[in-house]
Amino acid sequence: MTAAAQPGRRPAKPRPSLVIPIGIVAFLIITWASLSTEFGIGVDLGALADSITRGAGILGELASPNWSFVPETLPFMLETFQMAIVAAVIGCGLALPISFLLSRITAPNFATFLAGRSVLSVVRAIPDILYALIFVASTGIGTLAGIAALIFFNIGVVAKLQSETIDGVDPGPIEAARAGGANRSQTVRWAVLPQVLPNYVAYSLYTFELNIRAATVIGIVGAGGIGNLLFRQYRFFNWSNVSVIVIELFVLVMVIEFISIYLRRRLV
């Protein structure tokens, strides 16, 4: 009997792993190489410190919001809210039937599944601000371009999440529906849709939250909403007005997020 196997003796202490130290060293080396001038993006920490010092005046103005500017922002905030609602209703409404074509379980054939997945990958690969630039160039400056951009953004998000949810449904009701003679559309309607409907509502609410943020960004390129006003105040260096808009957006997003979280918990 070996010493390690003798009763009453402590087992041999395992050797310390070198994985964590090696990982930390590799992380530091990669970070340094990414920041260096020779191999990376060339971050100058001295220039960064000088910029922070020069920006003290701007930070002071941002810390002093011009509350008298609030009435001028309300129409733009309402426009942003309306854009988010319209885009969510249309985009999420289109994403539901599309998601059934993107799932292996409900797609009519493999060719449809493959083509749908390929198109969705392209839709998701294009950022929302690029959609906004495309639609602004084609339809002109305004909310129509913003709504169109958000619709594509919503379809990409909801269709992706919903199709993956469909892939994970319980196959029991599907087999029962098929055994009862149901066709594909009837199987989707009565065996699949009831299982994924709560998740679909939750995804739609989540997308509506994202629309408020995205509408602000695409407004900067002329797609309407509060982003347009924000960029205008930024160009004229009205930092106190910019601060008001940022605070309003923060409050609006937080209120919508809390309501959405509450509804999602009740539904899922």
CA distances from 145 to 141, 226, 227 (A): 7, 14, 13
Confidence at residue 263, expressed as pLDDT on a 0 to 100 scale: 82
Instruction: Tell me the pTM.
Output: 0.80
> Could you tell me which residues come within 8 angstroms of residue 110 by beta carbon, excluding any fewer than 6 positions away?
none
**Which of 200, 197, 247 is closest to 226 using CA atoms?**
247
**Is residue 180 scored above 90 in pLDDT?**
no
Report domain extents, the chain.
69-267
Residues 39-72: tens digit of each pLDDT? 667 777 677 666 666 677 788 888 889 999 999 9
Confidence at residue 6, expressed as pLDDT on a 0 to 100 scale: 59
Confidence at residue 78, expressed as pLDDT on a 0 to 100 scale: 93
> Tell me, what amino acid is at 228?
N
Confidence at residue 43, expressed as pLDDT on a 0 to 100 scale: 72
Confidence at residue 68, expressed as pLDDT on a 0 to 100 scale: 93
- Give residue 268's pLDDT band: very low, low, confident or very high (50, 70, 90): low
> Could you tell me which residues come within 8 angstroms of residue 222 by beta carbon, excluding any fewer than 6 positions away?
132, 136, 141, 142, 145, 228
**Is residue 225 scored above 90 in pLDDT?**
no
Residues 70-107: tens digit of each pLDDT? 999 999 999 999 999 999 999 999 999 999 999 999 99
pLDDT averaged over every residue in the chain: 87
Identify whether the C-beta of residue 200 lies closer than 8 Å to the C-beta of residue 88: no
- Give residue 139's pLDDT band: very low, low, confident or very high (50, 70, 90): confident
Q: What is the mean pLDDT of residues 161-167?
A: 94
- Give residue 2's pLDDT band: very low, low, confident or very high (50, 70, 90): low
> Can you name the CATH fold of 69-267?
MetI-like fold (1.10.3720)
Q: 55 vs 134, which has greater pLDDT?
A: 134
